[in-house]
Structures are given as structure tokens and as C-alpha cells.
Amino acid sequence: MVERVPRAVLWQAALLLPHPVLTLLYLLAVRAERVEPSFGPVVVLVALPIVSAMVGISHLRQIASAGSRGGQMVLLALAALEAAFTVLAAAVVGFAIGLRSL
């Protein structure tokens, strides 16, 4: 019997997938001096794991989600890890801004 994946899990995964790739592409563009370093894109990109965590938390609060709690917790941990990665990316952008001002 095939078990259906809840929509909330699919939304969470879809929101988590582009974040590391887009952040890495932005940091590479800053390093190659193709774009000016700015905190704006990093702040916008942190919205993806935050929205994913909000979807996951709202799904965990539902009684019907009892069977998928393990997967939800993994996705919530990934959202927290991606948010931490965003803090690291913001630090890198800060260093790039500092180097440009020298």
C-alpha cells in the first residue's frame, strides 16, 4: 500500500530546496564582483526557511499529522540549519562590504 505524502511536507521541502543554491549563487556572484554586496538578498532568502518552518509547525499542530511527525521534525531541523547558514552568509556579505570600504 502506497502512503501519500502530506501536502504540508511537500510545501516544506519545496521551500527548503532553493535556499542553499540561491544563497551560494549570490555569494559566488559577490566574490566574482558581479554584484554589489548587500544584505537585502540574504534577508529575502531567509524568508524561505522561515516560511517552511511555519508550514511545518502548523502541520504538526494538527491531529491528523500524527503519522508524519518524524519527517516534519527532520524538515524543521533542516529549516533551522538553513537559517543558520543564512547567518553565516550575512557574515560573509558583511566582510565583503567591509573589504570594499577599505
For 18-59, what is each residue's pLDDT tens digit?
A: 999 999 999 999 999 999 999 999 999 999 999 999 988 888
pLDDT of residue 2: 61
SS3 81: helix
In a domain, 1, yes or no: no
Cβ atoms 30, 97 nearer than 8 A: no
- Please say if the pLDDT value at position 61 is more than 90: no
Q: How far apart are the first and last CA of the chain?
A: 63
CA distance 48 to 94: 21
Q: Residue 15: CB partners within 8 Å, gap ≥ 6?
A: 48, 49, 51, 52, 55
Is the pTM value of this prediction over 0.95? no
What total of structural domains would you count in the chain? 1
In a domain, 102, yes or no: no
67 — pLDDT class (breaks 50, 70, 90): low
The boundaries of the domain holding residue 54 are: 7-97
CA distance 65 to 58: 10
